[in-house]
Amino acid sequence: MTAVIEVDHLTKRYRETLALDDVTVTFAENAITGLLGRNGAGKTTLMSIITAQNFATQGTVRAFGAEPYENAAVLSRMCFVRESQQYQDESKPHHAFAAARMFFANWDQQLAESLVEEFRLPMNRTIKKLSRGQLSAVGVIIGIASRAEITFFDEPYLGLDAVARQVFYDRLLADYASHPRTIVLSSHLIDEIAHLIENVVVIDDGRIIVDTDAESLRGEATTIVGERSAVETFTLGRRVIHTDALGNTMAATVLGQLTEADRHALTQAGLDTEPVSLQQLVVRMTQHAHQTSPMNGASR
């Protein structure tokens, strides 16, 4: 893997709040990475510092091997679609697109126009009169049509209905397939994006707690369900990240891939297994993060 963004010991402090705490992470070139975490975990802060829209307290950021801050050569190759993007009051969507067209060398006008149609974006309305979903569509269209070498989508779906979100995912995937580039997708709707992402970075409380490829995370947790004492026997010595109990039945979510021997032992003990989705896994890990040590894939 080639790293196109390198973040090294990055710390960001807002008065008493530590938004990023000694973060070291890289983003792979031409891959789609999911940047996941709870509200206030530090996702937006991290993306805004990488795109030089915010200052680091300590540490360094490099994109394309250079510091982005006041570096037009780097910044013109990055697009940051913010959840709360500000536009000039009286401007209309086509003004925003015209500005993007001037800034991004790879801007594809035809692609932008076809997206405007698919999102049914009213082009003659001023941006401040757009609905929340239409406003999000403006950002999504800029993010896709800019074809920037690095594109950040920070929860780009606010107000978009299920149909419009599916349009976004499908068009993003199709355009990425024909024009591979680095995409960082921050989202709370993890189930919706789980299949789109190649890498996963989970940030919690300003710290990176997961940094691995999505495929190795899949099957990395399993919920073991059955009679309490049998579950307890099987999970002894394993890393249990969550348990639920109902009477004498217990469900324990354990980390670690199950081996053939494990599966055999489970069958023998009459225990059932349930898959754990990426969303459930991230919820469990960020819920119990303070008892869980960082999990980093050896494959990266």
DSSP assignment letter at 66: B
Q: How far is the CB of 294 from another protein (least distance, A)?
A: 22
> Rule CB under 8 A: which of 8-67 touch another protein?
31-32
Footprint (CB under 8 A) of another protein, residues 140-179: 169-170, 173-174, 176-178
Q: Which is nearer to another protein, 50 or 193 (CB)?
A: 193
Nearest distance from C-beta of residue 34 to another protein, angstroms: 10
Residue 162 beta carbon to another protein: minimum distance, rounded to whole angstroms = 14
Smallest gap from Cβ 27 to another protein, in A, equals 14
Determine the Cα–Cα distance for residues 116 and 256; give it in Å rounded to an integer: 45
Using CB under 8 A as the binding rule, the residues of this chain from 195 to 254 that contact another protein are 195-198, 214-215, 218-219, 222
Q: How many helices (H) and strands (E) does the chain have?
A: 11, 14
Q: Greatest CA separation found in the chain?
A: 69
For another protein, give the closer residue by CB, 52 or 211: 211
When the beta carbons of 79 and 214 are compared against another protein, the nearer one is: 214
The 8-class DSSP code of residue 161 comes to: -
Closer residue to another protein (CB): 105 or 163: 163
Which residue from 270, 290, 291, 298 is in contact with another protein, where contact means CB under 8 A? 270
Q: How far is CA 2 from CA 32, 35, 119, in A?
A: 13, 18, 34
Minimum separation from the CB atom of position 209 to another protein (A)? 21
By beta-carbon proximity to another protein, the closer residue of 40 and 180 is 180
Helix-helix angle 93-103:132-145, to 10 degrees = 20
Q: Give whichever of 207 and 218 is closer to another protein, judged by the CB atom.
A: 218
> Minimum distance from CB of 42 to another protein (Å)?
25
According to CB under 8 A, which one of 125, 275, 288, 299 is a site residue for another protein?
275
Q: Where are the alpha helices (DSSP H) in the chain?
A: 43-50, 72-75, 93-103, 109-118, 132-145, 162-178, 190-193, 214-217, 228-235, 260-268, 278-287
Tokens at residue 79, please?
């697009």
Burial zone of 279 (CB within 10 Å; 0-12 exposed, 13-18 middle, 19+ buried)? middle
Min dist. Cβ of residue 196 to another protein (A): 6
User: Which positions ≥6 away from 3 have C-beta within 8 Å?
Assistant: 26, 27, 28, 29
Task: Count how many residues are written for the chain.
Answer: 300
Q: Which of 8, 67, 161, 274 binds another protein (CB under 8 A)?
A: 274
Binding stretches for another protein (CB under 8 A): 31-32, 169-170, 173-174, 176-178, 180, 195-198, 214-215, 218-219, 222, 264, 267-268, 270, 274-278
